[in-house]
Structure 1
Amino acid sequence: MSTGIYTLANDLVYNQLVALLNSIEVNAGKETPVCVIAYNDQLDNVRQEIATRDNVTLLDNPELFARWEEFSYRVWKTHPDALQEWQEQGMKTKFYRVGENHRYCAFDPESPFEKFIYLDADTLLMNSLDFVFKQLDESDFVVYDFQYKDPAHIFNVASPKLLEVFDESQINSEIFCSGFYGAKRGLFPEEQREWLVSQLANGEAEVLYKRAPNQSVLNYMRMRSGLSIHNFALSL
């Protein structure tokens, strides 16, 4: 089974990307496959850096990106006021932080890794990730954080709909920060994505948190789909 690490970057975060790649080389090994997902087309320095590292590749596939951007756009079209609010704030794109949604491509059947770990470019790897990959044999998602202590940065906790959609016990234990997680290719096939959009359109979209759209939608997708999750912050 192919395994590897994803991150999301462009030239704006070039220095952070180099630090992350160095930390992976030191703490996971020089042979660890890493795929840098293009945030946008500002990639000159990123391409030059990747060319010097045999274990690192670049995912820059406009067709693949378009598929997941369209899904994200449809998600936010179901929200009562998100698109209007972002436009009033000067947003020039279809929705807020379009490039962040490129990380969803890791779930696509065309992506390179069957099991993967996603790390934001401004993080560092401080130890081996073998225990995370091993846990993915048992769980659909694997995380290691304390975001469950602050659900207000994942969902709109003021929405009365929230506790109709999810149990309070789920909210208090299953949510996670989207800067680090392990998961698997193929978890959200097209049929499942269509179902998720339909549920959001039926009134559930108001539970999404507009200021961290990618993080909110990813948690909604996992929880609403009933995919299993293991948080090492709770088990260790």
Structure 2
Amino acid sequence: MNGICTLANDTVYDQLIALLNSIEVILGSNTPVCIYPFDDQIEQIKAEIVNRPNVFIYEDSASIQRWDKFMQAAAPERLNRKKFRLYGAHRRFCAFDGPFEKFIYMDADTLVMNSLDAVFQKLEESDFVVYDFQFLSPTKVYNIQSPKLLEIFEQSRIDSEIFCSGFYASKQGLFEQDTREWLLAQLQSGEAEI
């Protein structure tokens, strides 16, 4: 089954409602939508989706804890609620654990404006489809002061391959334990600084 995923809490309730309404109008009221909880503040969302049978909150606590633990090991400072406003953004990675075989992740502050069939079709030939949005400055994505940055990426890639993580499509199961462990080792070896 294919579906749409998003990340939300009650802070972005109004934006989430706009996204859900756009999905309903453009894609249809039967389009499955999974909401990953940014944090535990989701009471308004729970009350709203009672009337939207196609929308559900992701409740796989083992998956959520697995990605919380991953982030704790990768960059514990990013989980500081007082310092980082996106302290729960990593929970979007739960999409790789399920419930959809193929999914499109959309930030809660985006809207569906047209059919997404072409994006799902691209997943027949690719594991990822991303929307290149961060064209203004690599500082939105990278620590350009890091000496490690150019050890990992050539300048031409930094200038041309920055994408916004607010819209992407992928497939379930691409980040199994071995892959997560490899990524974590890379991040802990110094790549996290970039």
> Shift of the alpha carbon at 1:119?
0.7
What are the ranges of 5 or more consecutive residues in structure 1 without an aligned counterpart?
78-82, 208-236
Q: Would you say how many aligned residue pairs link Structure 1 and Structure 2? A: 194
Give yes or no for the alignment of 1:103 onto 2:102: no
* 1:86/1:96 contact within 8 Å kept: no
Q: Which amino acid aligns with 2:94?
A: C
| Distance in 2, Cα, partners of 1:90 & 1:13 | 18
Matches within 5 A, 1:159-170: 159-170=146-157
User: Quick one: percent identity of the two aligned structures?
Assistant: 54
Q: Where has structure 1 moved over 4 Å in runs of 4 or more?
A: none
| Distance in 2, Cα, partners of 1:122 & 1:196 | 28
Most deviating of 127-136 and 9-18? 9-18
**What is the RMSD computed on CA atoms of the aligned residues?**
2.1
* 1:159/1:206 contact within 8 Å kept: yes
Equivalent residue number for residue 157 of structure 1 = 144
* 2:79/2:87 contact within 8 Å kept: no
Q: TM-score, normalised by structure 2?
A: 0.90
| Distance in 1, Cα, partners of 2:9 & 2:69 | 21
Matched residue of 2:185: which SS? helix
Give yes or no for the alignment of 1:9 onto 2:8: yes
Give yes or no for the alignment of 1:129 onto 2:134: no
> Shift of the alpha carbon at 1:183?
1.2
| Distance in 1, Cα, partners of 2:139 & 2:115 | 31
> Shift of the alpha carbon at 1:31?
1.6
Equivalent residue number for residue 72 of structure 2 = 73
Most deviating of 47-56 and 147-156? 147-156
Give yes or no for the alignment of 1:184 onto 2:141: no
Q: Identify if the C-alpha distance between structure 1 residues 188 and 169 changes in structure 2 by more than 3 Å, giving closer, same or farther.
A: farther
Q: Identify if the C-alpha distance between structure 1 residues 96 and 124 changes in structure 2 by more than 3 Å, giving closer, same or farther.
A: closer
Deviation track 1:91-136 (CA, whole Å, cap 9, x = no partner) reads 4xxx87332111110012xx11011111111111111111111111
| Distance in 2, Cα, partners of 1:164 & 1:90 | 32
